[in-house]
Chains A and B, each alone.
Chain A
Amino acid sequence: MSAPTEVEVGRAIGARVERKEDQKLLQGQAEWVDNMHVPGMVYLGIVRSPYAHARITKVDVTPALAHADVVGAWSGADIADEWQGSLPCAWLPTEDTNAPEHKPVAVDKARYAGDAVAVIAATSRGAAEDAAELVEVEYEPLPVVVDPEAALADGAPLVHEEFGTNRCYTWTLEEGEIDRLFAEADVTVSERYRQNRLIPNAIEPRAVFVTAIPANGEFTLWSTTQVPHIARVTLSGVTGIPEAKLRVIAPDVGGGFGSKLNVYAEEALALAVARMLGRPVKWTETRSEGYLSTIHGRDQVQEIELAATSEGKILAVRTKLTASMGAYLQLVTPGIPLLGAWLYAGCYDVQGYSFECTGVFTNTVPTDAYRGAGRPEATYAIERAVDALARKLGMDPVEIRRLNFIREFPAAIKAGLTIDSGDYDASLDVALEQAGYESVRAEQRARRTAGDPKRLGIGLSTYVEMCGLAPSNILGAIRYSGGGWEAATIRCLPTGTVQVLTGSTPHGQGHETSWSQIVSDRLGYEIDEVEVLHGDTAVVPLGMDTYGSRSLAVGGVALYYAADRIAEKGKKIAAHLMEVDEAQVDHVRGTFHGPETSITLKEVAFAAWTAHNLPDGVQPGLEETYVYDPPNFSWPAGAHVAIVEVDTETGAVELLRYIAVDDVGTIVNPIIVEGQIHGGLAQGVAQALYEEAIYDEDGNLLTGNMVSYLVPSAAEFPRWELHHTETPSPTNPMGVKGVGETGAIASPPAVMNAIVDALAEDGITDLDMPATPERVWRALEEARR
């Protein structure tokens, strides 16, 4: 790696630049997929199975075809010839992973409530919905399994009979003398946690729009996707449309949180129907349809054991996960729990590490990436288990953390990876000071002494996570099908503005602003002089898209290096124009200084465009691309403190204060970082206190809309108290780390530890998420018995 100049923090990088994207969003001028209309367009209506598990004995679409506004209707069998392959799963973690066929429309069997069984094309959306009701489907209901542990039991109904089991895979990782460490430990704790199943709720539901040029066999797919580049590669495989004839565009996309890091049946269906009819096709999910057709998150049973000395030094951690895949494997379903595989010892130094995960098929909506993807689960388990250990030893949760922190960096952790940098004490110091830890403890004791039925609790979460996905060679080693690189192109236009092409596709993160700040820092352009293009495979052909807090730490670094290349070429031209030796020229933020005169990058860009007077061997134009493959993940960390009040009469939990101290390396835009943390905290606290997808034993989703699936609003939260420590990452020249998921990763254990802290003296240490009033009340009732 070259030794680039460091960024200047506080000028463009680090400045509170307001988001360039917001004006058009706030003024209703954004380009949403569902707003697209062209003549001749048809709308898809999808008939979905009301049964979680049923043989499909008959599908009759003729009554739907009789509807005046219907132009086509197909059962799964009718449309089967359109598919060249299954919907993609890019991560089969073991050689013997059971990977079922996954057709966009089910043919013989429906495997979850919501599985598509027929599709309608009609000239209006209303007609598509009306006609979907007319399709006659006969089902033969089969026994259902929704719980991942029950699915592994002998005699459980089989989601995919061909495997003879519901086990999808078992993946293990073991380092150190685990058995000896546990046998010799003074003390062990053994905990069991449930990761509640969550339903992602992006503000924009999913939508798909396809236009075709039948004469050329060319298709353009507009999709509310995080991953247009991955969609292009994989949908080509599903539909047989050559990659070169398929253009995928992600216009403005209203959030994803992982739910749009996927390749869905409806995208393939819209392409197939457009190909069959030769007409434009649109489909937009409703919120309640999305709950049955867009991936869910989490849903794991976690067993974690710690071995420790009587002083509280943790020796080893042993984890066993049973993770629900749902009924099929979506894009990265099996790999999601494994993204936490290295993090079950958290930020603590251990000698032994054992991890085992079994993926299990159930008759539920497939699970996949949801903000944090594997790392919230790991952080939750270790942070709660450390508190359990502290309780067992009569230690303060702060003390036990301090005793076990990793302190030397880069840190080769027992699980096998290397943490780039960190200072866990620094974050914890700030968090405790801001929380007023000792005074909260004093009030907690005072309330208890006074017999106040409203208990106070304070909970910690000292987390580290790995993001910035990812070094391609590591992805290959764990059997992920793609790479983890990212591409950036800078094109200096002749009239003084500049274009950036980024393969990292934003869906609300504000790339246009942050990327402009980086270009401004490196090349001296004003923020408004930078145009950032993204999300269209015809404009930006090379990209790996946006997920896993990778944009800045991978795509942003690619941009940094592309700027270096611009400066390098620019310097050659500038030296030539100034008639000095290249070694005599210094580049500083868009100005090339020679011994006597200087010339700006904009002037150089114009000279490169006219090409009247270029040095020998230098091509016209000033455009450079850099494809960056990160040498390591980035490892943000921090200390979060939750302070809760628990009403022991009603079970209600109120989050009184939340203090988040995050260390995400160099901050490019503090406003955007704060926004990311706010949203992440909201989603993490939602997991701890509100959200849970509940299936009944027949596989009906009981929480099928926003009345019963409790997405909290701002009214449920305190004012977030954000603070930062800054430990730059040494693995990239900007020192940046990811920030998109930290809030969702750190906050569930902080909140749950606070509730248990409030109630431990009442005898409650075993409490699952979400800590709803009734669940807390029941735990109290049980403890009172």
Chain B
Amino acid sequence: MIPAPFDYEVAESVDNAIELLGTREETKVLAGGHSLLPLLRLRLTRPSLLVDVGRLDLSYVRDAGDSIAIGALTRHHDVATAPLLQEHNPLMSFAAGLIGDPQVRHRGTIGGSLAHGDPASDLPAVVLALDGEIDIAGPNGVRTVRAAEFFRGVFETAVGPQELVTEVRVPKLIGDHVWSYLKFRHRAQDWATVGVAAVARRSNGGVADAAIALVNMGATPLRAGAAEAAWIAGAADPGVEADAKTEPPSDTNGSADYRRHLARVLVRRAVEEAEAR
């Protein structure tokens, strides 16, 4: 329960953080620490250097025109309660409010959650469903990656070893949007056994621009393309093919079969809930 020895540096600026990350082979960024510290304490990860970015000025929720910009160090609690998000993207704030428990939400950060790349986390799937954009700073400046290209595998993202997530942008849901986030878990503070983020725009008595993303149904958050098409087509049960092209894990919280079944039920329910909103 005591981490293996490591060095520790506090980054003074984003540039300084990038510089520090380049000084060693095995470095880790410390933000809220709620994913990293348990791994350190179990000695499942043994970085030689921790770069603490906690003092960088990256905690904010701002109006950015068509989108809402969220600083990478914004705590989940602040995402959940930001009036700008509650007004323009309630899916985002609602989902953030379901993460862990109050202690976790007051420490964990949106940038850390995305960069950690855990497919069981809530926000990656939500940002994927929203087609969000992620700014990544590196030695050559800042690049922007769309959510669909960001998640690469279990704990693998587009963020390189000498890079840092600085900002996340999600669109304002303009017009008559409907949404739902369903998180199936055994205990309130657990990760989702399966989660479903669903969002669409009402159009001609049906919906358009439907997006459904799944939590914990594969190595990364996944779009449920067949279910999206079924929703747009007005199918009676858009969940029937929700688990198509997924590869859910099997663990003590649920077998792959059970997760497939849950995905089908939860997608149907998410669509029902969204449309009833």
**Do A650 and B252 touch across chains, with their CB atoms under 8 A apart?**
no
| A772 contacts across to B, CB distance below 8 A | 186
Contact of A716 among B188, B251, B252, B258 (CB under 8 A): B188
Interface residue SS majority, chain B? loop
Residue of B nearest to A715 (CB): B188
CB of A690 within 8 Å of the partner chain: yes
**Given A652-B184, A708-B252, residue A125 in contact with residue B189 (CB < 8 A):** no
Q: Shortest Cβ distance from B243 into chain A, in angstroms?
A: 14
Count, chain B residues at interface, CB 8 A: 24
Say yes or no: is A588 at the interface (Cβ < 8 Å to chain B): no
Interface residues of A in 621-666 (CB under 8 A from B): 649-650, 652
> Which residue in chain B gives the minimum CB-CB distance to A126?
B2
Residues of A within 8 A of B187 (CB): 690, 710, 712-713, 715-716
A703 touches B186 (CB 8 A): no
What's the nearest-Cβ distance from chain B to residue A380, in Å? 21
- A429 / chain B contacts, CB cutoff of 8 Å: none
From residue A120, how far is it (CB to closest CB) to chain B in Å? 13
Would B265 and A650 count as touching, CB distance under 8 A? yes
Asked if B276 is at the interface (CB within 8 A of a chain A CB), the reply is no
- Find A288's partner among B1, B258, B261 (CB 8 Å cutoff): B1
User: From residue A9, how far is it (CB to closest CB) to chain B in Å?
Assistant: 40
A777 at the interface (CB under 8 A from B): yes
Let me know if A774 and B255 touch, CB within 8 A: yes
Q: Which residue of B lies closest to A285 (CB)?
A: B1
Interchain nearest-CB distance for A68 vs B (Å): 12
A126–B40 Cα distance when bound, in Å, is 13
Within B186-203, the residues touching A (CB, 8 Å) are: 186-191, 193
Q: Is B31 an interface residue (CB 8 A)?
A: no
- Residues of B with C-beta under 8 A to A783: none
Supposing A125-B2, A289-B1, A777-B261 touch, asked if A702 and B188 sit within 8 A by C-beta, the answer is no
A713 touches B265 (CB 8 A): no
Proximity string of chain B (76-120) to chain A, C-beta cutoff 8 Å, 1 when within and 0 when not = 000000000000000000000000010000000000000000000
Complex CA gap A774/B260 in Å reads 12
Residue contact B186 to A773, C-beta cutoff 8 Å:
yes
Which residue in A129, A288, A690, A773 is a CB contact (below 8 Å) of B2? A129
- For A775, the closest partner residue in chain B by CB is B258
Residues in A whose Cβ lies below 8 Å from that of B2:
125-126, 129
Contact B184 A650, beta carbon cutoff 8 Å:
yes
B254 at the interface (CB under 8 A from A): yes
Q: Which residues of A contact B193 (CB under 8 A)?
A: 773
A: number of interface residues (CB 8 Å): 28
Asked whether, in the complex, the Cβ of B265 is within 8 Å of the Cβ of A774, the reply is: no
- Asked if B154 is at the interface (CB within 8 A of a chain A CB), the reply is no
User: CA A621 – CA B147 in complex, angstroms?
Assistant: 81
A425 contacts the other chain (CB 8 A): no
| A57 touches B (CB below 8 Å) | no
How far is it, in angstroms, between the C-alpha of A652 and the C-alpha of B4 when the chains are bound? Answer: 40
Q: In the complex, which residue of chain B has the Cβ closest to the Cβ of A692?
A: B252
Instruction: Point out the residue from A694, A712, A715, A777 that lies within 8 Å of B258, measured CB to CB.
Output: A777
Kindly state whether residue A84 has any CB partner on chain B within 8 Å.
no
Whether the pair B262, A650 counts as a contact (CB closer than 8 A) is yes
Q: Does A243 contact B (CB under 8 A)?
A: no
CB distance from B163 to the nearest CB of A (A): 28
A26 to chain B, nearest CB (A): 18
Determine the residue in chain B with the shortest Cβ distance to A778.
B258
User: Is the pair A130, B5 in contact by a Cβ cutoff of 8 Å?
Assistant: yes
* CA gap between A690 and B261 in the complex, in Å: 21
Q: Are A713 and B252 in contact (CB under 8 A)?
A: no
Residues from chain B with a CB closer than 8 A to the CB of A129 are: 1-2
Instruction: Name the residue of chain B whose CB is nearest to the CB of A773.
Output: B186
CA distance A702 to B251 in the complex (A): 9
User: Bound complex: CA of A650 vs CA of B196, how far in Å?
Assistant: 14
Report chain B residues within 8 Å CB of A286: 1
Contact status B252-A702, CB under 8 Å: yes
CA distance A287 to B262 in the complex (A): 32
Q: State A537–B265 Cα separation when bound (angstroms).
A: 60
A401 to B185, CA, bound (A): 36
| B contact residues vs A (CB 8 Å cutoff) | 1-2, 4-5, 42, 101, 184, 186-191, 193, 251-255, 258, 261-262, 265-266
9 contacts between A and B (CB under 8 A): A129-B2, A690-B187, A702-B252, A710-B186, A712-B187, A772-B186, A773-B186, A774-B254, A774-B255
- Beyond the given pairs A287-B1, A705-B42, A773-B258, 7 more chain A to chain B contacts, judged by CB atoms under 8 angstroms and listed by A's residue number, are A130-B4, A288-B1, A690-B186, A707-B191, A715-B187, A715-B189, A772-B186
Closest A-B pairs by Cβ, 3 of them: A286-B1, A715-B188, A126-B2
